[in-house]
Structure 1
Amino acid sequence: MDYEITPHVGIGTVKLGMSREEVKEALGAENYNGSHRELDYYFDNSFQIEYADNKADFIGVSYFVKYKGINVFNTRAEELFEPISSSEDQKHEYNPYRYIFPKQIVTLWEADEQYDKTGQESRPIWGQIGIGTPSYLHAAS
């Protein structure tokens, strides 16, 4: 399964602003792994949806996704940083720990070799990529 990231919209079938029930329907109840307060987890915890007022406010993914056709989890962290950065209005400096691109509200979390599932842990790969709403950006900033 490959889901495309569309900033301000969603990741694959999961859209920002969906209710918990709509997300569960979109991802399949059989793929649901549980919840913790305002977070739901799917696909062995590789999809994380955070809610505000019962609406998807942040979608974080650690597997299955593409950004502008690029396989996020089979691309070196620095190589992925560039195309995301080029879609912003300002210049961004690579940071391997945590990064938020404010125009797109795209987040990157912890580049490390341990997340390189296809290259046998030989390259730094982002541990998670996510998108959020303006309210998420405000809270995260």
Structure 2
Amino acid sequence: MATITTSRTSAPMPTGIASGVGFAGAIVATILAVAVGSTHDPLWALVPLGVVTAGVASVTSWTGAVVTAWICWSLDSGFVLGREAQLTFSPAAGVAALTLVAVALAGGLVGRWVRMERTARVEPAGQPIQSANEAPDNFS
């Protein structure tokens, strides 16, 4: 009987994929923020953009987290704070940038903690697993 050994680890999502997911999520979040009128109160736009940033930051590397925060800030600055698709450098843009970076760091820390806990609770590597081809046949 052949045995298969495995260890479950929670590897972070590659940065390139996470950046793409963050970009797509940030576009949707920005469209939603503008649709509900957050251009009049720009802090409300940070809610969906913060959710995207935290979500992506929790499953990727630090680089992917910061890139996602930057993408979210760029869309916030260009389409919520500045309505002409040009980056706006104002006090509100500074608050948005600091907020999104803080959310990225917090999301990244939570994601790493969850991955460490998940890895610590997995059985030690080297435990034999019976393959599907060698499972007992109960149909006889």
**TM-score normalized by the length of structure 1:** 0.25
Higher alpha-carbon Rg: 2
Name the structure, 1 or 2, with higher relative contact order (CA <8 Å, separation 6+). 2
Structure with the higher strand share, 1 or 2: 1
Where is the helix percentage greater, Structure 1 or Structure 2? Answer: 2
